[in-house]
Amino acid sequence: MSQMDSNSKPTNNSRELGTYHPLLSESIDRFLVEFRNGATDFSNFTSIFSRLLHNSPDPPLEVVWFYSALTFHADKSTVQDPSQRVCATKGLFQLLSSCSCSCNAVTKAAALAPVVYELCCLLSDEKCSKSEAESLLEGVISYISLCNTQEAEEDYRLSSHFVDLLGVWMVDRIGESNGVRIDYFRAFFPIISEEVRGSIVLGCGVGYLAGVVMCEAFLLRLCLMFEKGLSKMEVEKNAHHCAVQMITGVRSLYLLDVLLKMLLEPVLPVNYLLGPENEVFLREVLYDAVITVEYSFFNPGGRILLSNKQLTNLALMWLCVADSAIQFVRENSNQTKLFSYLTAFSKSCLPSQLLKWVSNQAGMEEAGIRNLSTPASLIKWLLIVQDQGLEIFESDICKIYAKAVVCKPTVEYNIPAVNLAAPGLLKSTPINGVRKREEGSKVEGQKPFKCVKFASHDNSMIEKLFPSVNDGGLSSGSEVDNPVSDEDMQDIGGMEDMEQEILIDTSS
């Protein structure tokens, strides 16, 4: 599975943890045993790890977490009133930000994962003050925004102790496993999607974890807007402003990566907090935020210290989300939003950047690429180029989505789930003087077909680019090497005003 930081080279932080591995491993095991035996005084551990923190100018995240977890559990043991848990979490926020103050920007943000986890628990507990929890959440988001105004720094990968430390943070809630496998990742990151959670399970960098923390805080903040008793119009306006402000404020490609992955899932992971109706409403707000707004930091020319490959993967994910958004508003008959999304797509620099990248990689002329005016048409064209041997869609979620665009019927074309006939059997009924294409010759013994009319929107290249769509596969013919000719373009240029007839195989 491709991840934004899968090729990150370890920095000194990662190598430095090597000297701490035995000590950290033994300390985690001993702490879990002592805690489950009822211990509340962990000063023997804290004194050792306090010295490690003070002696390291840029301590590893794992050391910061273990020391902070020890202190937090000791403090929580004195809190009897559930309403005081917000104060304990606020103390944890201050402790983590203090312990990571000498770390780089992404480590500072990633270090706050336990705070966001506690906030998720607090906001799900009716006994806790929502207003105090919201105030703390605002402080966390402001701190993250300040961290990300710093210059981007090199990322490093988390160690194998990461999952053990999740168990340390949740020891008072989960207890002993008794031989049952515990999904620490699902419990600790309750409002991220399975795809994002899977990226963490497989091993990720601190930068990616920072993106997860940012996105969780971001989603929690948006969810709270639904509890203020405002009208739907007010919630939409405020949530959209908040979303754009957050994305612009943190200027993080890691946040954008996580958010786009979530928007490609069937349901947002905050569904359990909002309910189905509000989840759909929030999804539309997020679509607006990531599609209709052009973010300067998400630009191949921006000063972001990430490789072009990583930016390309993000652009491909944005392309899939744009198509998902268009299908979403089309299914809900929202013509205003549909026009808005199509306009935003046509004005975005990302499609042209993708075309330029593919053209350079494949050695083709950009002039031969025409009429890819919607996300769906561009996705299909990219898949055909990929069938020629150029690897384009690397992440699993993009591969699956892109193939679904081709293999499944869409509202956009309004045709049944059947195989398209060969190119020679496509014929057009002329409207407004558009020239009719000659019908393909019939062959003896040919399978029976029937005509199905459909309105064409971005299907102007279907005959040249999509000669065969068969049960999940695309033809790997030579259409990409032989772009659509001027004569063909004259034929198909007016298809937006035409009805087309597709000959459908009815023999099966």
Point out the least confidently predicted range of 69-78, 125-134, 291-300, 487-496: 487-496
User: In the prediction, which pLDDT does 217 show?
Assistant: 96
Structure tokens at 66: 């273990």
Report the run of H or E that residue 89 belongs to, with start and end: helix 85-99
Residue 113 CB partners (closer than 8 Å, separation 6+): 188, 189, 209, 212, 213
105 pLDDT above the threshold of 70? yes
Alpha carbon distance, N-terminus to C-terminus of the chain: 37
Determine the number of helices (DSSP H) and then strands (DSSP E) in the chain: 24, 5
pLDDT band, very low/low/confident/very high, at 65 (cuts 50, 70, 90): very high
Confidence of residue 209 (pLDDT cuts 50, 70, 90): very high
3-state secondary structure of 470: strand
Question: 172 versus 31: which is more confidently predicted?
Answer: 31
Name the least confident of 64-73, 112-121, 184-193, 369-378. Answer: 369-378
Average pLDDT for the chain: 75
Model's pTM, two decimal places?
A: 0.75
Q: Which residues pair with 449 in a beta bridge?
A: 505
Q: How far is CA 98 from CA 24, 35, 54, 93, 471, in A?
A: 20, 25, 11, 8, 56
Model confidence at 269, pLDDT cuts 50, 70, 90, reads: very high
pLDDT at 154: 60
CA distance 33 to 475: 60
What kind and span of H or E run contains 250? helix 232-250
Say what the pLDDT of residue 378 is.
93
Query: In the predicted model, what is the mean pLDDT of residues 356-383?
Result: 79
Which of 98-112, 179-193, 455-469 reaches the highest mean pLDDT?
98-112
- Residue 114 pLDDT > 60, yes or no? yes
Of 249-253, 387-391, 501-505, minimum mean pLDDT range: 501-505
Tell me 348's DSSP state. -
**pLDDT score of 298:** 76
Which parts of 268-387 fold into alpha helices (H)? 271-274, 276-291, 308-331, 335-347, 350-362, 375-387
Question: What is the percent of the chain where pLDDT is above 70?
Answer: 70
What is the predicted pLDDT for the residue at 396? 87
Report residue 60 as tokens. 């590893």
The predicted pLDDT at position 388 comes to: 86
Assess whether pLDDT exceeds 60 at residue 161: yes
Query: Quick one: pLDDT at residue 190?
Result: 92
pLDDT at residue number 180: 52
Here the tokens at position 474 are 């695309």
Q: What is the pLDDT of residue 461?
A: 37
Most confident residue range from 123-127, 174-178, 206-210, 480-484: 206-210
Q: What is the mean pLDDT of residues 292-308?
A: 63
**Residue 143 clears pLDDT 80, i.e. is over it:** yes
Integer Cα distance of 127 and 175 in angstroms: 22
Mean pLDDT (whole number) for 451-479: 36
> What is the arithmetic mean of pLDDT over 71-79?
83
Q: What are phi and psi of 420, to 5 degrees?
A: -80, 150
Mean pLDDT on 326-352: 91
Tens digit of pLDDT for each residue in 390-436?
889 988 899 999 999 988 664 443 333 333 233 332 333 333 333 33
User: Is pLDDT of 318 > 90?
Assistant: yes
Whether residue 494 has pLDDT greater than 80:
no
pLDDT at position 506: 38
- Are 359 and 366 contacting, i.e. CB atoms less than 8 angstroms apart? yes
What is the rounded average pLDDT of the residues 237-249?
92
pLDDT at 284: 95
- Predicted confidence at residue 18, as pLDDT, reads 63
Q: What angle do CA 300, 302, 305 make, to 5 degrees?
A: 90
| Segment 72-97 mean pLDDT | 86
Q: Are 422 and 467 in contact (CB under 8 A)?
A: yes
Query: Is 223's pLDDT higher than 70?
Result: yes
Over range 131-135, report the average pLDDT.
91
Identify the pLDDT of residue 495. 34
79: confidence class by pLDDT, cuts 50, 70, 90:
confident
How confident is the model at residue 365, as a pLDDT? 65
d(CA 372, CA 399): 19
Does pLDDT of 7 surpass 90? no
- The whole-number average pLDDT for the span 165-183 is 74
Element (H, E) at 255: helix 253-263
Q: What is the dihedral of CA 234, 236, 237, 242, to 10 degrees?
A: 120
Per-residue pLDDT, 440: 42
Among candidate residues 214, 294, 307, the one with its CA nearest the CA of residue 257: 214
pLDDT at 340: 94
More confidently predicted of 53 and 366: 53
